[in-house]
Structure 1
Amino acid sequence: MRRVVITGIGIVAPNGLGRVSFTEAIAEGRSGVGPIESFDATGLPVRIAGEVKNFDVMPYLGEHKKNAKTMSRAVNFAVGAAGLAVEDAGLESDRLDPARFGVCMGTGITPMSLGELAAPVLSGVSNDGALDWKQFSIAQAESMFPLWLLKHLPNMAAAHLSILHQAMGPNNTIVTACAAGTQAVGEAFRLISRGDADVMLAGGCDSRLDPLLIVAYQAMNALSRSTRTPTEVSRPFDGERDGFVLGEGAAVLVLESLQHARRRRAKLFAEVVGYGSSFDAYGITRPEPTGKGAALSIKAALKEAKSNPSDIDYINAHGTSTRLNDIMETNAVKQVFGHRSKTIPISSQKSMVGHLIGASGALEAAATAITLDRGVIPPTINQATPDPNCDLDYVPNTARETQVRVALSNSFGFGGQNASLVMARV
């Protein structure tokens, strides 16, 4: 099995564009949560989010600018993050074997714009209020962009990245809710490790800042309805947390075999040494409360990494800011790490960017690699009120400078999907 390293990091996040900007933001505890500006959120039950502002995909499209018409907002972010990652890694596509260069992306729902659907729906409503499908289809054909459907296929992020970067090797799309980004990095790691590829673009992208989806999440009582200042609403592990804040964005990592990276003298941010996944088999919306499903994922990653619980110096938490998830994650850490649980620094970037759903694990994997490289653990901001059920060291409010040799990054998604990565300092 070949060693796998991270040589490039591309970020499109609510609090930073590019590795350097994002690194500064998380070290400073700077939040990207604020009022929604991409559409009029007046009247919605939730009007704040971790929104990416002023992003233009065009500079990243090269000679494929016409393809922008077939890209959703999430794919735009993926294209930008991949372009930044390739630049960060110093990759030159014409020097790579395209058959040994692949893509693995995590993502989720691509919302169908209510604005685009409104015209054909209204045109198809008969006098008695029923939907006339014949009239609807005629109106749809007249008003919709012919390739509209392509914006909503989950594999489009991986497809566009492969076209843009001439990656003809393995190409996978992972759609496992909040665990998708972590699993995409883990599966790419496995592909390189077993010799199926030399280089992979791996990560996640998502954007659910859409009126219908905000209402849907609120119907599940998943989103915070706090009236605090927006930057103070996402508060993982805090005693006054009341739900998560939706975020959006993308993170893409360049993964390479160590031999390939050394041959081209690439900078090495971190080594991926283990990946584990599991399933709660408990409930669709509620995590298994004792954390035993999540603990299985952590243990599997540690086993592949040939690491003991005593080796872990830092845990990048899923940390959603919901009542149930944060307690479950705390319980899982206690199961695996026992008496060491209270001495291991744990932090959640969701306190600063919100929950990027399918992209969250990839962004957190990127943050973990940055922590290993720089020796600065980002904080969990908005820690003010203790929760007796969340009693670990969550690196409250202020970053911590310390050398991290081995780190763990966790993601736990709706349905019971769990995924964990172990990374090491190179």
Structure 2
Amino acid sequence: MAQQSSDITKGVVITGVGIVSPLGIGRSDFSENLAAGRSGIRRSQLQSFTGVPGHVGGEISEFDEKSAKKQWLKSERKWVKVMCREIQLGVASALQAVEDAQVSTDTIPADRLGVEFGANLMLTPPDQLIDPVKKSAEEEPSPHFIYEKWGQDGENAGQPSGMGAMEPLWLLKYLPNMPACHISISVGARGPSNSITMDEASGNSVLGEAVRIISRGDADVMISGTCGARFNPMQSLHAALWDELAHEDGPPETWCRPFDKNSTGQVIGEGAATLILETAEHAANRGATVFGEILGFGSSCVVERDGSPQPRRALANAMRAALRDAGVEPNQIGHVNAHGLGSKAVDRDEALAIHDVFGADGGKIPVTAMKSRLGNAGPGCGTMELVASLVSLGSGVIPVTLNYRASDPECPLNVVHGEPLPTDNRLFLKTNVTRVGQATAVVVRAAGA
């Protein structure tokens, strides 16, 4: 990874990277596996049940309950019991980033160190709900749930209600603001703290918010990241009900095919990534390594009167806003790190949005899609995907999209496939969009070799 680049001398820069992904834990392992063309998509090794075809997804099999306590969250092991998997992944990535950037309240005032983190609603596993639900159910005349018994003792005086049978700290394990809370407590950050729940669009949004906090002088350093774990029993069932999921006969690593003519849907996943942000001047004063710079951010949500989302318009709006904010023209961008879901309709809308923004160059600009290697981790996907471009450009290449075999006439894009694409253009545009029409984009410049 590159040291500080001489042309990154102003603005808000990236000085630390932490990542817990299906493609590796830690910047070094992630970079190595990315460069080697590997995939993190596999059949589940940790879950006894998932709701997705073939139990296939982007799973972090080396991050289990035992290793979380003894290795990845060793300093926080007494708190692991009140962290669900999403929170564990997010905190682990943040602690990595803090260490990577050598950030500490020993040298940075606690009230000048903030946290901006993205997560979604987190769902309780079935095994933790079985007994409480039983206490609120009746078997006759047929098994059914009695809502009135959930919060009351009913006729069984002295017996716990359904809610009373829940573990005492249950709620703290599943709130989307808890990653930011745990991170703040762990590192002693007492500056601005905020949590964003915008599903896949969260990653770019937390960066945009963190940059603005620093730019207006409310913090010197921001810990900014996202986490998501869709590859578990409850989240995977939701995916099976709501999403177009890939269904293939071949090896799991070939299932996710963004922008490919033969794509059959998305593959779900899990993961987290965190970036440390500060001004270039602040980074230089403390001798920090700079990995890149956040130049611009844009966001848009477009929905018709009947509630139907319009991803194409939302993505185009967000990209244009990010370019405007960065003071960059489309022809200056070296590549687009796309949302690249693997879903026919969403991929088509994104491809058309890229053409809307880049015009005649829409079919020429290199496009890469990291969900082909990571799956869709919901809120966690955007930051992990951004890191992929950041570390790859540090080595002078654009990361390759896996499983792109046949070009789709409905997605006329220059998809980077086969081999990483050498480049000396370190500007890239990162896009993400949600199923309800929320889109975000950031313009990033990676530090040179």
Task: Give your verdict on TM over 0.5.
Answer: yes
Q: CA deviation at 1:52?
A: 0.8
Q: Which moved more, 1:251-260 or 1:38-47?
A: 38-47
- Using the alignment, how far apart are the partners of 1:62 and 1:230 within structure 2? 32
Q: Secondary structure at the match of 2:195?
A: strand
Q: Any gaps of 5 or more consecutive residues in structure 1?
A: none
Which moved further from structure 2: 216-225 or 66-75?
216-225
Q: Which residue of 2 aligns with 1:406?
A: 427
The 3-state SS of whatever aligns with 1:381 is coil
The one-letter code matched in structure 1 to 2:221 is V
| Counterpart position of 2:179 | 157
- Alpha carbons 2:50, 2:236 under 8 Å: kept: no
8 Å contact from structure 2 (residues 11, 280) kept in 1: yes
Aligned to 1:131: 145
Q: How many angstroms does 1:328 deviate by?
A: 0.8
Query: TM-score w.r.t. structure 2 length?
Result: 0.90
What's the counterpart of residue 299 of structure 1? 320
Residue in structure 2 matched with residue 188 of structure 1 by the alignment: 210
Partner residue in 2 for 1:74: 86
* Distance 1:303-1:151 versus aligned 2 partners, 3 A rule: same
1:323 to 2:364 alignment: no
- The Cα RMSD (Å) is 2.0
Q: Which amino acid aligns with 2:42?
A: G
> How far, CA to CA, are the matches of 2:16 and 2:427 in structure 1?
19
1:202 matched to 2:197? The reply is no
Partner of 2:387: 366
Structure 2: which amino acid aligns with 1:101? L
Flag the structure with higher helix content.
Answer: 1
1:97 is displaced (CA, Å) by 0.9
- CA shift in 2, pair 1:133/1:253, >3 Å: same
The share of aligned pairs that are identical, in percent, is 37
Question: What code does the residue aligned with 2:355 have?
Answer: K
**Whole-Å Cα distance in 2 between the matches of residues 397 and 284 of structure 1?**
42
| Distance 1:286-1:17 versus aligned 2 partners, 3 A rule | farther
Match of 1:114 in 2: 126
Cα distance between partner residues in 1 of 2:294 and 2:344: 31
1:41 aligns with 2:49: yes
Matches within 5 A, 1:14-413: 14-41=22-49, 45-55=53-63, 56-58=67-69, 59-61=71-73, 64-126=76-138, 127-128=140-141, 129-133=143-147, 135-137=149-151, 138-140=160-162, 143-282=165-304, 287-288=309-310, 291-413=312-434
Q: CA deviation at 1:335?
A: 0.8
Q: CA deviation at 1:287?
A: 4.9
Letter in 2 for 1:131: F
Q: Name the CA shift for 1:118/1:301 in 2 (closer, same or farther; >3 Å).
A: same
State the aligned residue count: 424
Structure 1: how far apart are the matches of 2:309 and 2:355?
Answer: 16
Match of 1:4 among 8, 12, 18: 12
Secondary structure at 1:343 match in 2: coil
CA distance in 1, matches of 2:433, 2:304: 13
Tell me how far apart the structure 1 counterparts of residues 29 and 200 of structure 2 sit (CA, whole Å). 24
The letter for the 2-side match of 1:245 is V
Tell me, in whole angstroms, the C-alpha distance in 2 between the residues paired with 1:144 and 1:267: 46
- Residues 92-132 of structure 1, C-alpha deviations (whole Å, 9 max, x = no match): 33211111111111111211111110111123221333324
* 283 and 365 in structure 1: CA distance in 2 versus 1, 3 angstrom threshold: farther
Gaps of 5+ in 2: 1-9, 152-159
Relative to structure 1, is the Cα distance of residues 350 and 286 closer, same or farther in structure 2, using a 3 angstrom cutoff? farther
Structure of higher CA gyration radius: 2
